Amino acid sequence: DSGVTQTPKHLITATGQRVTLRCSPRSGDLSVYWYQQSLDQGLQFLIQYYNGEERAKGNILERFSAQQFPDLHSELNLSSLELGDSALYFCASSVGRGDNSPLHFGNGTRLTVT
Amino acid sequence: GQQVMQIPQYQHVQEGEDFTTYCNSSTTLSNIQWYKQRPGGHPVFLIQLVKSGEVKKQKRLTFQFGEAKKNSSLHITATQTTDVGTYFCAGGGSQGNLIFGKGTKLSVKP
């Protein structure tokens, strides 16, 4: 158990809809990262928050947004969903701010857009 | 943008054979990390290398970081069925975030 909690585990929704994925980091970790993993694909970095502030941005679409709350949990909002958004979305947390801290991944949220 | 290339994409081996995956970056990395993702699971941190030329071992797994800190390798000796999964390398990006390679999917035939 990594200590990172992601909900829900599965999400099935229709095109054009909006969903929210939630992540609680490991106790003591200040950084939260969001990654997208499509079938047989690698991990695409979306965005990182550190102690409530956005720290790094990857290939995140404008239809996607995220935030980290004062209690350090994070939410990833996906709107105007398209079929191609179907993927596994991982949240990870780390104790540090930069790239030197190992990441601890949650079990992921599998999103299916029909 | 900054990329971390990983080869091969797939590797099928007979149980007992050795396995190696390679990771290359066009830029110098501050550190390299390796993760393993079992089928249906999430990536799990294996190890971090920081120093130029560093070599670390974990039982049958040997990790190396190149002298120029631009490449790395993971070698598994005498693979077992429990080694099945996808192995990812991840290097420190220019924004201070980790850039993951696409991974090497290892299958082991008993």
Instruction: Nearest by CB to B95, from A56, A103, A107: name it.
Output: A56
Residue type for position B18: D
Cα Rg of chain B (Å, integer): 13
- How far is it, in rounded angstroms, from Cα B7 to Cα A74? 33
Q: Is A60 on the interface with B (CB under 8 A)?
A: no
Measuring CA to CA, which residue among A91, A87, A94 is closest to residue A107?
A: A91
Beta strands in A25-108 (DSSP E): 31-37, 44-50, 53-57, 64-68, 74-78, 87-94, 104-105
Contact B86, B36 (CB under 8 A): yes
Q: What is the pLDDT of residue B6?
A: 96
> Quick one: tokens of B108?
């082991």
Average pLDDT over residues A14-41: 94
Contact: B92, A108; criterion CB under 8 Å? no
Instruction: Nearest by CB to B101, from A42, A57, A108: name it.
Output: A42
Say whether pLDDT at B96 is over 80: no
In chain B, % helix, strand, coil (3-state, to 5) comes to: 5, 55, 45
Question: What confidence tier does B95 reach under pLDDT thresholds 50, 70, 90?
Answer: low
Measuring CA to CA, which residue among B31, B25, B32, B29 is closest to residue B7?
A: B25
**B107: chain A residues, CB-CB within 8 Å:** none
Question: What confidence tier does A40 reach under pLDDT thresholds 50, 70, 90?
Answer: low
Q: Is A35 on the interface with B (CB under 8 A)?
A: yes
- How far is it, in rounded angstroms, from Cα B108 to Cα B10? 11
**A48: chain B residues, CB-CB within 8 Å:** 97
Interface of B with A (CB under 8 A): 30-31, 33, 35, 41-45, 48, 50, 88, 90-93, 95-103, 105
Say whether pLDDT at A38 is over 80: yes
Q: Percent of chain B beyond pLDDT 90?
A: 85
Instruction: Nearest by CB to A99, from B30, B41, B43: name it.
Output: B30
**Rounded to 10 degrees, what is the CA torsion of B85, B75, B98, A38?**
-30
> For B57-70, how does the pLDDT look when each residue is reduced to its tens digit (9 = 90+)?
999 999 999 999 99
Helix or strand (DSSP H, E) at A96: none
Q: How many helices (H) and strands (E) does chain B have?
A: 0, 11
Range with the poorest average pLDDT among A37-46, B23-32, B53-62: A37-46
Q: Is A2 on the interface with B (CB under 8 A)?
A: yes
